[in-house]
């Protein structure tokens, strides 16, 4: 694997994975309507602070465990091979589900935009397949090519949203420019737990910094810096942008408008303050944002597959780098083939790309990743109790706070999972899939040990 990307490249990969513009359009209304809170921007601030605390132990562990398996390697080092194997399977399943969720949402959004601008009606799966082919080609090559593409897409989507943010804040909305949406005295109004739950979803993917360590220049310095920069930058962008949305709609009308017209909350704001050009630009760049997110997670899933192949958790052929591109090319081809089968299966079953694929699988993936973060926090504590080095702040206090926070978040997400995925039966099925992945992976470690002893 090559060593060519620095802090900026890793941040581009992670920030593009967060899809900031797409999150503003799709996640903001959900955060506001679910929480019914007038201070929704603060939820992203709290989420960023919680993730920053998690990152203290996470990045400290990265100095000690230098493999690129991230959650899997950290949990294995701290909690043992059995837990690590279960974490590996859960991580692979979670990212595989998220990848399918993204390809469905991207295809549906592209089909809708094409119909809006040209009147042509083309099925979502056709656009999903085209997007998959493009990301497959890019992910097959050196990671530097993907970072260049993601850098351009990230700059464009951030630019249009920040222009809208500053215009709204400086011009003021129906109630002027007021900071009431940032008043911490109203933090407990409504249902803040639901707001926090959905706010965390906007950060999924930041942990991928460690996955790219094999291709980073000076990873001991690059990975921690990229992790903190990603969390702070994404958190500030979300908080400021949702504050601007609150100003543009009027803080007292924010909850009502987000509930009544969630899909057009941001685009209507763009039309009001930037005109038709601004509205069209937002709609086009949302697709760019989604594509950047899809490309990032194609690279992430390919590297998970590559790392697990190299570790013997998947066929060893998947763990071999391309001799010229020094990229996980075989793993990338496997990811592309898997997603093609998922698209075909979804079409055959008549699943809706947004209401079914995206809602179900993104919710399940997020739950899986939060469970992995809680286990990672526990693993950091256990690891450093057996390896007495480092300060208590980084090896015990911060990971303990993180363990409590993410343990509570797991409980909160499970409790509200039917709301998240749109039904009790679906919720039970998806939780069962995640539980089987975790337990099955752990059980497989016993099978592999038994086989080794019989040889």
- Residue ranges of alpha helices (H) inside 19-142 are 20-35, 41-64, 71-79, 81-118, 124-140
454 in any annotated domain:
no
pLDDT of residue 119 exceeding 50, the answer is yes
What span, in angstroms and rounded, lies between the C-alpha atoms of 268 and 270?
5
Read off the tokens for 427: 């919720």
pLDDT of residue 452 exceeding 80, the answer is no
- Kindly state the average pLDDT of the residues 125-129: 96
State residue 164's pLDDT score. 95
> Over the stretch 163-187, which tens digit does the pLDDT of each residue have?
999 999 999 999 988 899 999 999 9
What span, in angstroms and rounded, lies between the C-alpha atoms of 258 and 380?
40
What's phi and psi for 109, nearest 5 deg? -65, -40
2 in any annotated domain:
no
pLDDT of residue 328 exceeding 90, the answer is no
- Residue ranges of alpha helices (H) inside 311-353 are 329-349
388 in any annotated domain:
yes
335 in any annotated domain:
yes
1 in any annotated domain:
no
pLDDT of residue 421 exceeding 50, the answer is yes
455 in any annotated domain:
no
- Kindly state the average pLDDT of the residues 94-119: 92
Read off the tokens for 22: 């797409």
Domain hosting 311: range is 7-445
Query: Cβ distance 1 to 67 under 8 Å?
Result: no
In whole angstroms, how far apart are CA 374 and each of 63, 148, 224, 288, 408?
19, 33, 19, 32, 9
State residue 346's pLDDT score. 95
Residue 70, exposed/middle/buried by CB under 10 A (0-12, 13-18, 19+)? buried
452 in any annotated domain:
no
What span, in angstroms and rounded, lies between the C-alpha atoms of 371 and 388?
26
Domain of residue 119, CATH code: 1.20.1740.10
Rama region for 403: left / alpha / beta (φ>0; ψ in -120 to 50; rest): alpha
> Over the stretch 5-63, which tens digit does the pLDDT of each residue have?
677 777 877 787 778 888 888 889 889 988 889 899 999 999 999 999 999 998 888 88
- Kindly state the average pLDDT of the residues 84-99: 92
What's phi and psi for 352, nearest 5 deg? -80, 135
- Kindly state the average pLDDT of the residues 326-330: 75
CA dihedral 296, 297, 299, 301 (to 10 degrees): 170
How many domains is the chain built from?
Answer: 1
70 in any annotated domain:
yes
In whole angstroms, how far apart are CA 143 and each of 41, 140, 177, 184, 307?
34, 8, 43, 42, 15
Q: What is the mean pLDDT of the chain?
A: 86
Residue 325, exposed/middle/buried by CB under 10 A (0-12, 13-18, 19+)? middle
């Amino acid at each position: 694997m090559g060593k060519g990307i620095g802090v900026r490249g890793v941040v581009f990969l992670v920030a593009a994975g967060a899809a900031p513009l797409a999150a503003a359009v799709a996640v903001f209304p959900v955060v506001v309507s679910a929480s019914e809170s007038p201070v929704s921007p603060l939820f992203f601030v709290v989420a960023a602070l919680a993730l920053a605390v998690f990152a203290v132990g996470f990045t400290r562990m990265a100095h000690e465990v230098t493999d690129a398996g991230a959650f899997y390697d950290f949990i294995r080092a701290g909690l043992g091979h059995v837990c690590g194997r279960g974490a590996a399977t859960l991580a692979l399943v979670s990212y595989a589900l998220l990848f399918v969720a993204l390809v469905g949402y991207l295809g549906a959004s592209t089909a809708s935009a094409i119909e809006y601008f040209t009147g042509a009606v083309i099925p979502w799966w056709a656009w999903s397949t085209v997007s998959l082919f493009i990301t497959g080609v890019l992910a097959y090559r050196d990671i530097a090519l993907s970072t260049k593409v993601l850098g351009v897409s990230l700059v464009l989507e951030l630019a249009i949203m920040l222009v809208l943010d500053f215009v709204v804040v400086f011009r003021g909305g129906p109630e002027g420019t007021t900071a009431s949406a940032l008043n911490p005295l109203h933090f407990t109004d409504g249902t803040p737990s639901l707001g926090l739950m959905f706010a965390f979803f906007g950060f999924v993917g930041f942990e991928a910094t460690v996955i790219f360590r094999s291709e980073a220049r000076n990873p001991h310095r690059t990975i921690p810096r990229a992790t903190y920069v990603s969390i702070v930058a994404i958190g500030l962008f979300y908080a400021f942008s949702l504050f601007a949305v609150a100003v543009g709609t009027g803080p007292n009308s924010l909850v009502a408008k987000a509930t009544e017209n969630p899909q057009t909350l941001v685009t209507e704001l763009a039309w009001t303050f930037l005109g038709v050009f601004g509205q069209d630009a937002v709609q086009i760049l949302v697709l760019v944002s989604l594509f950047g997110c899809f490309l990032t997670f194609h690279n992430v899933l390919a590297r998970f597959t590559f790392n697990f192949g190299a570790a013997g958790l998947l066929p060893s052929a998947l763990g071999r780098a391309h001799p010229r591109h020094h990229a996980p090319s075989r793993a990338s081809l496997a990811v592309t083939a898997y997603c093609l089968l998922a698209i075909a299966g979804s079409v055959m079953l008549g699943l809706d790309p947004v209401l079914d694929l995206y809602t179900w699988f993104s919710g399940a993936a997020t739950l899986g990743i939060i469970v992995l973060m809680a286990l990672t926090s526990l693993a950091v504590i256990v690891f450093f109790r057996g390896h007495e080095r480092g300060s208590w702040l980084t090896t015990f206090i911060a990971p303990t706070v993180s363990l409590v926070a993410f343990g509570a978040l797991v409980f909160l997400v499970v409790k509200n999972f039917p709301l998240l995925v749109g039904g009790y039966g679906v919720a039970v099925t998806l939780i069962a899939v995640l539980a089987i992945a975790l337990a099955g992976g752990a059980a497989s470690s016993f099978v592999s040990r038994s086989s080794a002893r019989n040889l």
